[in-house]
Structure 1
């Protein structure tokens, strides 16, 4: 079976460096909020050209702490997309605010900025765009809109580390940017990890306080916070991974170009690329009218695939109380039934990719 993502193969290629880093941490005697974490924050801040970087336990915590640091809570509304991983909206709900959904652009699958203004009310405090699958939301237009309404912008860049819009790294355009280092992400570790970046010094200080039980001095607490710290082993591994990220993202792009020969083959629609936006293909998702049949066919022929995301957030049981109905966001609903992720990772071998392409070219519909 050709896997959708092969994290083990990628980490095996760095095995010796990882083991040396783990040994370094063990020898140091510092396992939480030590030198490795500080160095990683400095290095990732330099890479992203962001003044402040705050490492946290995971990508979901990054979103939650960001909302909390902006004093967003009960009675507030945050506009976001219904077509994303659950954590994007879950974080909004977790701080007591209400997610307000806006349909997506049919080409990029990111939030349709032209539809946001209609959803802004006196309760709206922020917009939370998601750079889905490694492709940028239209941040130029979104920032203009947010500025005109004086709204915060929290970028969910958990799937887009290293991607850019007009030469600027995603996550650094809004007030706050959030990243995940889950093992399957483009920049990853062998467990959970997350990061928040911001250009605002006051926010960075608040985030560091929040991640550590609301404390800046041991046993003295200024507010109710969280226990959300990136441990030293993960920080050390991420420092290694960071040195490879540009090469890995370029490998993904080259593999994406290889898949592009599938354009129009057996009804397949390949991903759209926006000019001036560097897609880093966290996932390479194609569209097909018979998505579920095609997935079953691929499985029978030794190719793993994935449906991202089969049930939009406004249709999730936990959000029934928001009063949304089938048909409210027709583009998101359509893509949820059509999108299919193909095997994509930096260590995907040329012969594996050619086999995926061969199998897809041989597809003949329901009869198979």
Structure 2
């Protein structure tokens, strides 16, 4: 029986166990333990940010960021429709309205040329989400934000360690967020991070993350916040993972290189760009889009599953999510995002993936394409 190849498997081969044992031996398992600050400092240094706040997951990071920069009822936030649902949830939960952008067909990120037409008197912010390993083209976006005095939230969850024109992702805009879910370049199991250079925003993050405890009278609350704290146990894993970040990035790019090599002559799929004018693909995942109008992503995924190969579909557009239909009606079609959702999927891309497994995955998919082209 063939061994199943999962779409992702975290690599825990560094100091994770040692640091976890240190937490247990010292009794520091809560959010007040020293590994939390170590991880915050490491991420702040990586992203050239003055302030970093570890939280319990990436969704919490987005909610904290949106609230901390002052987005509220009646505001509009321009954002991609092709992204994880957490991005829209953060906007809806403060009473604001998402205004969706379609994707660029080549990079799968938002097309920054479409942003300015969506700006109006209600627009408060632009949410940037770097998708699958390539960055958004930030310069035009930041120019628009400056022109109209808009806040910028940068969701860099999928590009830890990536750069835009040599500048680390996570450094752009008013506030940036990360996720440390097990499929990310570094993981804490569940976890996230919020970063900013603004002192006032930092103070808001610190308070909101910790239930808005009173400064003088701890249990007198003038505002409601969340318990979004990260535990020392989670942070211990994160510190160990951070020590391996450079190696992890090299491994991701090698995975991408090998897949590109195997599929370079295959006409059945659109492959991810290897690079743009402003960044080199970091291959958080290796995505591909079926060119066959009769065979959508689920067809290819079922075929690969028959051979013990895990896959995952691309994001489903936010403007078509059933759970939001009563909150926001989007009449116009966002064709590229809808097509990506129908025809896009990604192959196993985790850090434990071997060259032999990549070869098996690639040859299997190529055989499937050959058989069905006969």
Instruction: Give the TM-score normalised by the residue count of structure 2.
Output: 0.92
Hey, what does 1:248 align to over in structure 2? 248
Distance 1:36 1:85, change over 3 A: same
Gaps of 5+ in 1: none
Kept in 1, the 8 Å contact 2:8–2:351? The answer is: no
**Residue by residue, what CA displacement relative to the aligned partner does 1:182-228 show, whole Å, maximum 9, x if unpaired?**
112111123x1110011112211210111001126333434211110
1:221 corresponding residue in structure 2: 221
- How many residue pairs get aligned? The number is 360
Shift of 1:277: 1.0
Structure 2 residue 13 is matched with structure 1 residue 2: no
Name the residue aligned to 1:324. Answer: 330
Query: Partner of 2:312: helix, strand, or coil?
Result: coil
Deviation at 1:260, TM superposition (A): 0.7
Q: Offset of 1:55 from its aligned partner?
A: 0.9
Mapped to 1, the partners of 2:182 and 2:352 lie a distance apart of: 14
- Per-residue CA deviation, residues 283-330 of structure 1 (Å, 9 max, x unaligned), is 110111322222121111222111112x311111122232214x6101
CA deviation digits over 1:19-38, x for unaligned, max 9?
22112112333322222111
Q: How far apart, CA to CA, are the structure 1 residues paired with 2:130 and 2:31?
A: 30
CA RMSD across the alignment: 1.6
- TM-aligned CA distance change 1:3 to 1:65, over 3 Å: same
- Matched residues in 2 for 1:361 and 1:367: separation? 11
**Rounded Cα–Cα distance in structure 1 between residues aligned with 2:244 and 2:128:** 27
Shift of 1:367: 7.9
Q: In structure 2, what is the equivalent of residue 178 of structure 1?
A: 177
- Does residue 231 of structure 1 match 2:243? no
Tell me how far apart the structure 2 counterparts of residues 216 and 58 of structure 1 sit (CA, whole Å).
24
Distance across 1 between alignment mates of 2:99 and 2:371: 38
Structure number with the higher helix fraction is 1
Instruction: Provide the secondary structure at the position in 2 that maps to 1:359.
Output: helix
Deviations along 1:213-272, one digit per CA (max 9) or x if unpaired, are: 112633343421111001000111101100111110111101101111203414122101
For 2:308, which of 299, 302, 320 is the aligned residue?
Answer: 302
1:27 alignment counterpart: 25
- Distance in 2, Cα, partners of 1:142 & 1:258: 33
Query: Where do residues 1-368 of structure 1 align in structure 2 (5 Å cutoff)?
Result: 1-7=4-10, 10-11=11-12, 13-14=13-14, 17-30=15-28, 31-190=30-189, 192-215=190-213, 217=215, 218-261=218-261, 262-272=263-273, 273-288=275-290, 289=292, 290=295, 291-309=297-315, 311-321=316-326, 322-325=328-331, 328-363=333-368, 364=370, 366=372
TM-score of the two chains, using structure 1 as the length reference = 0.94
198-207 vs 142-151, greater mean Cα deviation: 198-207
Instruction: Answer whether contact 2:16 2:241 (CA < 8 A) is retained.
Output: no
Give every structure 1 segment of 4 or more consecutive aligned residues whose post-TM-superposition deviation is greater than 4 Å: 365-368
| Worse overlay, 34-43 or 87-96 | 34-43
Q: Secondary structure at the match of 2:176?
A: strand
Per-residue CA deviations over 1:60-80 (Å, capped at 9, x if unaligned) read: 111111111111111111111
- Conserved? CA contact 1:293–1:366, under 8 Å: no
